[in-house]
């Protein structure tokens, strides 16, 4: 099997999935109460966007060390988003079933980031 060439962050499956995660988080938070617009809605959206942004910025850096550091930041944002989802569920800002898709994709992205961090160790 031929290995796929990675020319930019757009070629990374983890980046592609993180973009899908942003879309799901926006859909989820669209249903949150209006008074959460500047609270959890904003925080969850920023954390989701930060994951893909850090992957992109890290991939564009010149060194493996810098790349790894940005992937660590992306992983941190994923953990932040996980925490915010737990809080939003506890506060019943949406039905449990509404969280399912974004939670599952977040778990997948987090695992991929963790594996990437490990593979970039020098």
Residue pLDDT, tens place only, 2-37? 566 777 888 899 999 999 999 999 999 999 999 999
What average pLDDT does this structure show over 45-73? 95
Q: pLDDT exceeding 70 applies to what percent of the chain? A: 95
Provide the terminal-to-terminal Cα distance of the chain, rounded to the nearest Å.
26
Entry pTM: 0.92
Q: In 3-state terms, what secondary structure has residue 94?
A: coil
Distances (CA, A) of 31 to 25, 77, 85, 93, 103: 10, 22, 13, 8, 16
Judge whether 103 and 111 are in contact, CB under 8 Å: no
Q: What is the structure's pLDDT at 3?
A: 63
Q: In angstroms, what CA-CA distances link 8 with 24, 38, 122?
A: 23, 33, 21
Average pLDDT over every residue of 53-70:
93
pLDDT of residue 77: 98
Cα 5 to Cα 13: distance, rounded to the nearest angstrom: 12
What is the mean pLDDT of the segment spanning 63-70?
A: 94
Taking only the tens place, the pLDDT of each residue in 105-114 is 999 999 999 9
Q: What sections of the chain are H helices per DSSP?
A: 13-30, 42-60, 64-90, 96-119
Q: Give the span between the Cα atoms of 122 and 118, in whole angstroms.
A: 9
Res. 1: pLDDT tops 60 = no
CATH topology for the 11-27+34-119 domain: de novo design (two linked rop proteins) (1.20.1440)
């Amino acid at each position: 099997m031929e290995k796929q060439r990675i020319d930019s962050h757009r070629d990374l499956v983890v980046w592609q999935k993180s973009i899908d995660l942003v879309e799901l988080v926006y859909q989820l938070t669209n249903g949150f109460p209006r008074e959460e617009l500047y609270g959890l809605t904003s925080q969850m959206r920023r954390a989701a966007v930060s994951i893909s942004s850090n992957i992109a910025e890290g991939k564009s850096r010149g060194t493996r060390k810098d790349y790894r550091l940005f992937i660590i930041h992306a992983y941190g944002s994923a953990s932040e988003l996980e925490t915010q989802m737990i809080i939003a569920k506890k506060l019943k800002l949406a039905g449990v079933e509404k969280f399912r898709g974004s939670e599952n994709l977040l778990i997948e992205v987090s695992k991929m980031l963790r594996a990437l961090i490990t593979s970039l160790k020098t």
